[in-house]
């Protein structure tokens, strides 16, 4: 087995040290060799590479065989992946019952993705009875790990790009870069400048620090760079520097711990809207550090920091709602907050990997990656998987299966509030894609998109259905109302609405003429009756 370990280590060394695709492919050749020697970690790396087509040619059948072998050996990664294959029907006949079993085994073995999947399934009631408390248990466990990673590494930047939006708005940036967190400033000395333009080349920096803080020069050692930058910025009234100086006093970075000064500088930063200052203030009030515990104040500052996108603020709020600390306990709110934190885990990087695969023309690889992320509850992955299936771009899924599977994921994305997905559900039922034609159900989905998301497209479709009497009683007046609403909701709808109203005017005129003719005919008939009477 030592030989297998040696080969595995060579492969991992090349993989970790090289950024070039050609070199990474070489690394996987070593991993393949180690996997053939039944090296468990090598088998795990190779099986996932085969599943996604990462540096190896995508081969679902081969990945399945490796996952089965890993599962027999008790590998949580193998168990989770085998559950995914059964959930998505890739290489096996779809079975939600088997998927649940393997996901459960994977979670019991400590696999965080399996826990996240189970959290989403219990939250949404997929293959299990809906249970907020069960969802809370799984999501909280994963969120604890993600929050810990964020504290140590500063987290990752997640880019969420919806393929359907790109088609609607070509050439426009459809994804929003989300700064998942603000780096903890006690690590600034190791990570470099807060602001690239700030440079400290003058020896007066030390003197400035000493003068402002009243600190003896002999106390300045490892925290020098951190402190100087913080003081320099703080002296200029910059909230970044104020927060950094607060961190210095809170943790004793180059200065004696002083909670009063920490509180003072965090307040200054928070008053300028700096999320890290708000978060640290919340933490001080929550834990009673330098101040009396005050959950009301903690809640206030955590809410402010969460509005700025600080993931640790979401995490702290989730803990408060989960335990009923300072607020009325709300399982539902806690789960939504923990879910938000979980979706900022390191696995979120696969969103961009999947997108790049799609842009490179490898739809099969992209759809498998999106499908796994969809299982984890990412709405953007659900809508993107549905989009690729809708366009019939993935040959890995059978022709007859594309629409039913797309319908499933449009439904899950719509349940999480994505407007385009809700309209797609209406379209699928209207035209009978992956299901029977059902105008009444289509009408319901369009109405939801209109009422909840104020979608101009949904309003237009409702106008058309009222005009034609599809799934609802024909009503020309209601048709006009919805067409007008669509025009008000979006400038893009004004031209199609104008044409629709012109057509509606013709229909109304014909209907009016027909009614007049009928009335005249009835009058003539009555006059005949009077004459003959």
Domains contained in the chain, number: 3
Nearest Cα residue to 121 out of 96, 144, 92, 151? 96
User: Which of these three, 308, 330, 362, is where a domain ends?
Assistant: 308
Residue 246 sits in a domain whose CATH number is 1.25.40.10
Answer yes or no: is 124 within a domain.
no
Alpha carbons 511 and 513: distance in angstroms, whole number: 5
Alpha carbons 166 and 388: distance in angstroms, whole number: 13
Range of the domain at 80: 1-97
Mean pLDDT split into 10-residue runs, the chain, 533 residues:
87 86 89 91 93 93 95 95 96 94 97 98 95 97 92 63 77 42 34 32 46 51 51 60 81 83 87 87 92 93 89 94 94 95 93 94 95 97 96 89 95 94 95 94 94 90 90 88 87 77 71 57 49 35
Answer yes or no: is 23 within a domain.
yes
Q: At what angle do helices 40-52 and 60-72 cross, to 10 degrees?
A: 150
> Which pLDDT belongs to residue 123?
97
CA atoms within 13 A on the CB side of 285: 20
The answer to whether residues 342 and 372 touch, using CB atoms and an 8 Å cutoff, is: no
- 179 φ/ψ angles, rounded to the nearest 5 degrees: -75, 105
**Quick one: how many helices (H) and strands (E) in the chain?**
27, 2
> Which pLDDT belongs to residue 120?
98
> Which pLDDT belongs to residue 490?
81
Domain shared by 208 and 93, yes or no: no
The answer to whether residues 218 and 254 touch, using CB atoms and an 8 Å cutoff, is: no
User: Which of these three, 280, 308, 336, is where a domain ends?
Assistant: 308
Answer yes or no: is 377 within a domain.
no
**DSSP codes, 82-123:** HHHHHHHTSSS---HHHHHHHHHHHHHTT-HHHHHHHHHHHH
Answer yes or no: is 388 within a domain.
no
Classify strands 157-160 and 176-179 as parallel, antiparallel or unpaired.
antiparallel
The whole-angstrom distance between residue 6's C-alpha and the CA centroid of its chain comes to 39
Answer yes or no: is 417 within a domain.
no
> Which pLDDT belongs to residue 352?
93
For the chain, the first-to-last Cα distance in angstroms comes to 113
User: Which of these three, 308, 340, 361, is where a domain ends?
Assistant: 308
Alpha carbons 8 and 269: distance in angstroms, whole number: 49
């Amino acid at each position: 087995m030592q030989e297998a370990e040696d080969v595995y280590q060579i492969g991992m060394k090349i993989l970790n040290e090289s950024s070039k695709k050609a070199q990474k492919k070489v690394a996987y050749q070593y991993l393949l060799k180690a996997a053939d020697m039944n090296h468990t970690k090598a088998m795990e790396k190779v099986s996932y590479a085969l599943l996604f087509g990462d540096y190896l040619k995508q081969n679902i059948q081969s990945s399945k065989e490796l996952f089965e072998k890993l599962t027999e050996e008790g590998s949580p990664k193998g168990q989770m992946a085998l559950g995914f294959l059964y959930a998505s029907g890739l290489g096996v006949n779809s079975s939600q019952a088997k998927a649940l079993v393997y996901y459960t085994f994977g979670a019991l073995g400590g696999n965080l993705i399996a826990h996240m999947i189970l959290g989403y399934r219990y939250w949404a009631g997929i293959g299990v009875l809906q249970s907020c408390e069960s969802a809370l248990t799984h999501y909280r466990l994963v969120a604890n790990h993600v929050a810990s990673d964020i504290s140590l590494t500063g987290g990752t930047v997640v880019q969420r790009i919806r393929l359907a939006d790109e088609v609607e708005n070509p050439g426009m940036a459809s994804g929003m870069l989300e700064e998942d967190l603000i780096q903890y400033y006690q690590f600034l000395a190791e990570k470099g400048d807060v602001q690239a333009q700030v440079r400290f080349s003058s020896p007066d920096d030390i003197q400035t620090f000493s003068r402002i803080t009243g600190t003896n020069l002999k106390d300045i050692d490892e925290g020098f760079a951190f402190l100087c930058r913080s003081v320099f910025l703080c002296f200029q009234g910059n909230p970044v520097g104020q927060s950094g100086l607060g961190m210095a006093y809170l943790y004793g970075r180059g200065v004696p711990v002083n909670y009063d000064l920490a509180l003072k500088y965090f307040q200054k930063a928070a008053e300028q809207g700096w999320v890290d200052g708000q978060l640290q203030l919340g933490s001080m009030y929550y834990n009673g550090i330098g101040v009396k515990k005050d959950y009301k104040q903690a809640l206030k500052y955590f809410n402010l920091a969460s509005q700025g996108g600080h993931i640790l603020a979401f995490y702290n709020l989730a803990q408060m709602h989960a335990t009923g600390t300072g607020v009325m306990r709300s399982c539902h709110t806690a789960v939504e907050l923990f879910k938000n934190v979980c979706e900022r885990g390191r696995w979120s990087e696969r969103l961009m990997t999947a997108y790049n695969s799609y842009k490179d023309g490898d739809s099969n690889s992209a759809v498998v990656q999106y499908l796994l992320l969809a299982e984890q509850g990412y709405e953007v992955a659900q809508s993107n998987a549905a989009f690729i299936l809708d366009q019939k771009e993935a040959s890995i899924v059978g022709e007859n299966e594309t629409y039913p599977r797309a319908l499933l994921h449009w439904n899950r994305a719509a349940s999480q509030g994505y407007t385009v997905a809700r309209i797609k559900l209406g379209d699928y039922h209207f035209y009978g894609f992956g299901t029977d034609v059902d105008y009444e159900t289509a009408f319901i989905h369009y109405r939801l998109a209109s009422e909840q998301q104020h979608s101009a497209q949904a309003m237009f479709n409702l106008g058309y259905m009222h005009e034609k009497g599809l799934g609802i009683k024909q009503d020309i007046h209601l048709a006009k109302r919805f067409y007008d609403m669509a025009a008000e909701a979006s400038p893009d709808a004004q031209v199609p609405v104008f044409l629709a109203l012109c057509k509606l005017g013709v229909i109304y005129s014909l209907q009016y003429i027909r009614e007049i003719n009928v009335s005249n005919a009835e009058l003539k008939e009555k006059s005949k009756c009077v004459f003959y009477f």
